[in-house]
A and B are shown apart, each in its own frame.
Chain A
């Protein structure tokens, strides 16, 4: 279904370009975007290789355990379909903690591993289970305590107080995360009603 969206956008773009004479830009963009995609993935390889290795080490050192104990009760309530001692829950916790500290690059491998485990829990089907949708919603709402990239850029462009947006960002991200949880629950409720009819 998501692929339909891309095909649709592509088509609209091409048709619009044909009518507006922007075809040269479009041609250039196809190559640039494809290049960007492969470059991104190669970068992703390095990141994944590095962080999955680091995560194993953090796991062994017990640091992850201590942070996990704090967040786990909350996450168990958020993902009621996932057994507390299943590997999926471990990855969900890691993913959540990584996002909290603004380490998007560490969150991605953990999130992907979580998806893998959730897929197994769901019997290997290629449709998104309830927990997967929740995981996705939580990641895209992006509960981040410290927006490191934004602060760095503000410093670079001469902000007198780069961190003054931390408070506003925190409030906004809490709102989006809360909304994500509420909408996720709402759509789950709708799906269950449809299924019981």
Chain B
């Protein structure tokens, strides 16, 4: 019984490999080339105007793209500003407010061969956005 469940798990995980590699390589290239930083810099002035601390913007943007990437940025923020600083707590909250949308779509849909994802990306990203905004608002109220 345990073995049956195990074998299925093996098959599923193998079937995901092409999708996951494709996703990670594309994101990696986009990031390593500097294009991602350029895009973020482009948007930052607008965000600062809206009262959003620019320090956590990369993490908030990366959060739906890469859980580990966002975690790394959160650790960065904590190391730079301190775990109990406003920014440290905000980064921590953002990390837990939502999950890695692109990874979930890739793994969940990839494993069962779903090609047409419908509105799932839109809904997922909108939810992530609401999560990040809620995190900023709540932390500003509670910790500032």
**Which residues on A are within 8 Å of B, measured CB to CB?**
1-3, 5-7, 9-10, 12-14, 16-17, 20, 22, 25-26, 28-30, 32-34, 36-38, 40-42, 44-45, 47-53, 55-57, 104, 108-109, 111-112, 115-116, 119, 126-128, 132-133, 135-137, 139-142, 144, 147, 149-150, 153-154, 157-162, 164-165, 167-169, 171-173, 175-177, 179-180, 183-184, 187, 191
Interface flags for B101-119 (1: CB within 8 Å of A; 0: not) read: 1101111110111111111
B78 and A40 within 8 A (CB): no
Q: How large is the interface on B (under 10, 10 to 19, 20 to 34, 35 or more residues)?
A: 35 or more
A140 and B127 within 8 A (CB): yes
**Which residues on B are within 8 Å of A, measured CB to CB?**
1-6, 8-10, 12-14, 16-17, 20-35, 38, 64, 71, 74-75, 78-79, 83-84, 88-89, 92-102, 104-109, 111-124, 126-128, 130-135, 138-139, 142-143
- Chain B minimum-CB-distance residue to A142: B99
- With beta carbons under 8 angstroms apart, the residue of B10, B78, B118 that contacts A128 is B118
B6 and A32 within 8 A (CB): no
- With beta carbons under 8 angstroms apart, the residue of B23, B89, B107, B127 that contacts A183 is B127
Q: Which residues of B contact A159 (CB under 8 A)?
A: 83-84, 88
A57 and B2 within 8 A (CB): yes
B99 and A140 within 8 A (CB): yes
Q: Which residues of A contact B134 (CB under 8 A)?
A: 171-172, 175-176
B108 and A115 within 8 A (CB): yes
Q: How many Å lie between the Cα of A130 and that of B110 in the bound state?
A: 17
- With beta carbons under 8 angstroms apart, the residue of B16, B32, B95, B130 that contacts A175 is B130
Q: Which residues of A contact B6 (CB under 8 A)?
A: 49-50, 52-53
Q: Which residues of B contact A139 (CB under 8 A)?
A: 99, 104, 108
B142 and A167 within 8 A (CB): yes
Assuming the contacts A12-B30, A52-B6, A180-B127, asked whether A115 and B109 have C-beta atoms less than 8 A apart, the reply is: yes
- Provide 7 A-B residue pairs closer than 8 Å at the C-beta atoms, listed in order of the A residue: A3-B22, A6-B23, A17-B29, A29-B29, A119-B114, A159-B84, A167-B142
